[in-house]
Structure 1
Amino acid sequence: MTEMSDSTHGDGSAELEHEVAPHLRRLRSRALRDRMAESLLFLPMVMLVLSIGLSYALGEIDERFMTNPSKVITFTPDIAVTLLGTIAGAMITTAGVVFSLLVVSLQLASGQFSPRVLRGFWRDRHGQVLVGLLLSTFAFCVVALSRIDTGADHAPPLTVGLALLLTLLSVIAIVVYLDRISRQQYVGRIMQRVARETHVLISELPYGPHIGVKVGDPVEPPDLAALGRPLVVTAVADGWVQQLSRRAVVAATPPGTVLRLETRVGAYLTAGTSLVTMWPPPPDPAVTARLIAEAVIVGPARTMQQDIDFGLRQLNDIGLRALSAAVNDPTTAVEVILRIGSVMRPLLLADCPAQSVRDPEGRILLTPCDLDHAEYVGHAFNQLRHYAAPHTAVVIPLVRTLRMLADGCRSGYRGALTPDRVRTIEALDRQLELTVAGARAAGLLPEDLAQIEAAATA
């Protein structure tokens, strides 16, 4: 009986791993692509290796086929050696200058706006291509120098010609990068990028390739107290939840299981705390716990892979820094509020994934930690309205934005208002009341307070 039970458990574990595997592959591939997109090393290294290979390949072609280069531009070996050496030295020096410019840009962006906006500079493909082009040109010239025969009648024409072409492309790339990096420091472009990334995720609600695939149909949450003793799967690492696959979490459990996900994308996980609670315990708890842990990608920082709330966090950080006494830039704070309004409107009109769903196998997934519309409203405006209270020029656009969102919710919902929609409207109205109350408590002049109240009740 024991051998038969172990064999059954083994077959069941293999089936679970087979079912979970495709979801985990997609999750890991997305995480890998995101890391590569933010890496200043990956693309330059690929270009560097390709340039070395190309240098050897062109050298072979020059030796075999370019024995009579009378119809192409040619150089003597001595001139080619001098030219390639000069280019190699100039490229490696310029690469150092570009790295210095990048570090200065990161410092300025981190100090003036927020450390969380640095990811946009890391992901800048133009900067990565420039660094790769400079390193590739340097490596190509160094390898070419080693293959030039100073006793020959002429230098290898294709090799020298490509070196000149790479140099010209590097110069053009430097000019483009200098223009781009100066524009990237403008706060409006930073906010535009953050808002654009957030809009992409919002456009996929309630389900999409980034947000997550639909698990099942909405159902009423079961009575957990009647399900008996659960199994608690704990987190194995500290960090921010960057991605999670609900399909993989559900597929890691036998049919008929009830699961409650105790975290969400964008939340911080502490090792040893609850990750998933399930009823009843599975036949092989160790395998299930391992598969569930693999379905949650934890990292040192939040990302925009699935995290809509992180877009709001970045915009808030810029606005709060602008309202600080050290910066004192109300105009930027106003622009932040307008950007948040443009992000929140489609978010509040979109449907959020249901927090209780059942798949065709009878598994029920509960996600009570997921943010609803009312919580998004709080995350978008709680801090801003508090620090904007003494600034009349900032409070008035904030009040108008809240009224715009509330009016849009009342008129934009189709059919009867669901409890979630009602809570959303109530949350917006409450934010409006608190904003006006904060302005009153800030001791503004009666004329300024009258303008704020007029904007709130217009």
Structure 2
Amino acid sequence: MAGYVRDGDGGTAAYYEHEVAPHVRRLRSRALRDRLAESLLFLPMMMLAGAVVLGGVLAEIDERYMINPNEMITFTPDVAVTLLGIIAGATITTAGVVFSLLVVSLQLASGQFSPRVLRGFWRDRHGQVLVGLLLSTFAFCVLALARIDTAAVHAPPLTVGFALLLTLLSVIAIVVYLDRISRNQYVGRIVQRVARETQGLISELPYGAHIGAKVGDPVDPPDVGTLGPPMIVTAAADGWVQQLSRRAVVAAVPAGTVLRLETRVGAFLTAGTPLATIWPPPADTAIAARLIAEAVIVGPARTMQQDIDFGLRQLSDVALRALSPAVNDPTTAVEVVLRIGSVMRPLLLADCPTQAVRDAEGRILLTPCDLDHTEFVEHAFNQLRRYAAPHPSVVVPLLRTMGMLRDCCLSGYRGEMTPDRVRTIAALDRQIELTLQGARATDMLPADLAIVEAAATRATGTPPGPPPT
């Protein structure tokens, strides 16, 4: 990769390698680990390769050192051939059954909950280990069959013994997998996993190893209209923004530059649309454009590598599917509402990354597309309150959850609250009011509507306004 020498740097060479490349490598390695964690091929192939290598090692040991083994651990060649043949046939048949169970579980999860929760089933390490054990057992037994000399006095003891050990481990793994696959279909475990992943990212706010590093101090955003004609960096491909490095983006431009990102993690990029805008244009526009593009990881689907909003999206999808006429499961929707509350509480109490910062070299980074607390509130409740409106059993917990979040925003302040906290409370009040209006617009019984209005009153601490006439 070519280096990038900064203006006035006095000959500091390979600027890219020193400043930008480490952050880009970190993003790419994290993206690779995420893809491998969701792969049903990587770990089984590694286990298969290990079984093949171990088979050769054991065969060599058997040939050199196991000339007169203990009779209690040996088999005649004919018995060993029959045994290994049965094991090989049974494991490949069982592998087909396991694949069928996996496909059925994915179909059920996709139809009952949401296609976006399937990633949890792909990442199940126990399922990947089971597939790897079955493939390893089959390959090991087939290779062992080829090494058995039917004219010998006894079969290779270590090879046959290890084949039996693989068989026992495969049987145990099947039982464990059946137990897990039945439990993992329970909605409580699915939403718990999504909530934990989301809370893990929230715990790093405003800056952390996954969320991103701090690149400068907060500053008032400049009036870009007075900065002259900019340079616009466009996206090279379509896809979802899975990760981006603010430090790599800032390091890609000279000192004194104003750079505005036109996207965010979790947004969809269309090829040819603006990715970043730079004032003034750097001397080498091609290098700057390439460095910025490399600092943004784009993929075919959203991931949980940096995307807190995707966690809220998954939870909302499960609740919306539960409220659909085809499923009609308000109890699941209530459970999801409670989980959303457990995710939103630490999120609203945490500080979001500043959307305008200046680093030590005078470079200003603007990230106006980043979500703030009010937008997180909208994303968490906008769709959910619309589809929950006809269900008083869901509307009431929804109002109570929003009231709890409102109270946590108010707690701890005895003086003037920050503008961000004021806007967040206003956004929650609006969601409570819109939820109440939605319930009033349905054919809800007067008694149920009275319960909903009482919940809204407790949520805001003020009586709701009269229904529109």
- Looking at structure 2, the residues matched to 454 and 252 of structure 1 have their Cα atoms a distance apart, in angstroms, of 55
Amino acid at match of 2:317: D
**Which residue of structure 1 aligns with residue 225 of structure 2?**
225
Q: Deviations over 1:239-280 (max 9, x none)?
A: 100111111111111111111000000000000000000111
- 1:56: how far off? 0.2
Matches within 5 A, 1:10-21: 14-21=14-21
- Looking at structure 1, the residues matched to 55 and 249 of structure 2 have their Cα atoms a distance apart, in angstroms, of 49
Change (3 A) 1:237 1:13: farther
TM-score, structure 2 normalization: 0.94
- Looking at structure 1, the residues matched to 137 and 272 of structure 2 have their Cα atoms a distance apart, in angstroms, of 50
- Looking at structure 1, the residues matched to 6 and 205 of structure 2 have their Cα atoms a distance apart, in angstroms, of 43
**Which residue of structure 1 aligns with residue 449 of structure 2?**
449
1:26 partner SS: helix
**Which residue of structure 2 aligns with residue 276 of structure 1?**
276
1:152 partner SS: coil
Matches within 5 A, 1:350-429: 350-412=350-412, 416-429=416-429
- Looking at structure 2, the residues matched to 33 and 327 of structure 1 have their Cα atoms a distance apart, in angstroms, of 35
- 1:18: how far off? 3.5
Check conservation: 1:13, 1:284, Cα contact below 8 A: no
**Which residue of structure 2 aligns with residue 108 of structure 1?**
108
**Which residue of structure 1 aligns with residue 117 of structure 2?**
117
Would you say 1:197 and 2:184 are equivalent positions? Answer: no
Q: Deviations over 1:136-185 (max 9, x none)?
A: 01111111111111111111111100100000000000000001000111
2:411 partner SS: helix
Matches within 5 A, 1:3-152: 14-70=14-70, 72-152=72-152
Q: Which runs of 5+ in 1 are unaligned?
A: none
Amino acid at match of 2:23: H
- Looking at structure 2, the residues matched to 199 and 350 of structure 1 have their Cα atoms a distance apart, in angstroms, of 11
- Looking at structure 1, the residues matched to 316 and 6 of structure 2 have their Cα atoms a distance apart, in angstroms, of 54
Check conservation: 1:406, 1:425, Cα contact below 8 A: yes
**Which residue of structure 1 aligns with residue 462 of structure 2?**
none
- Looking at structure 1, the residues matched to 416 and 59 of structure 2 have their Cα atoms a distance apart, in angstroms, of 73
- Looking at structure 1, the residues matched to 16 and 122 of structure 2 have their Cα atoms a distance apart, in angstroms, of 38
Name the one with the larger helix percent.
Answer: 1
- Cα RMSD of the aligned pairs, angstroms, is 1.8
Aligned residues: 454
- 1:72: how far off? 4.9
- 1:14: how far off? 3.7
Q: Which runs of 5+ in 2 are unaligned?
A: 459-469
Check conservation: 1:17, 1:291, Cα contact below 8 A: no
Change (3 A) 1:165 1:381: same
Q: Deviations over 1:318-376 (max 9, x none)?
A: 11111111111111111111110010000000010000111112111000000000000
- Looking at structure 2, the residues matched to 13 and 289 of structure 1 have their Cα atoms a distance apart, in angstroms, of 19
Matches within 5 A, 1:183-194: 183-194=183-194
Would you say 1:153 and 2:153 are equivalent positions? Answer: yes
- Looking at structure 2, the residues matched to 222 and 438 of structure 1 have their Cα atoms a distance apart, in angstroms, of 41
Amino acid at match of 1:67: I
Amino acid at match of 1:279: W
Amino acid at match of 1:44: P
2:304 partner SS: coil
1:278 partner SS: strand
**Which residue of structure 2 aligns with residue 246 of structure 1?**
246
Check conservation: 2:6, 2:254, Cα contact below 8 A: no
- 1:211: how far off? 0.6
1:233 partner SS: strand
- 1:16: how far off? 3.5
Q: Deviations over 1:198-257 (max 9, x none)?
A: 010000000111111111111111121121111000000101001111111111111111
2:232 partner SS: strand
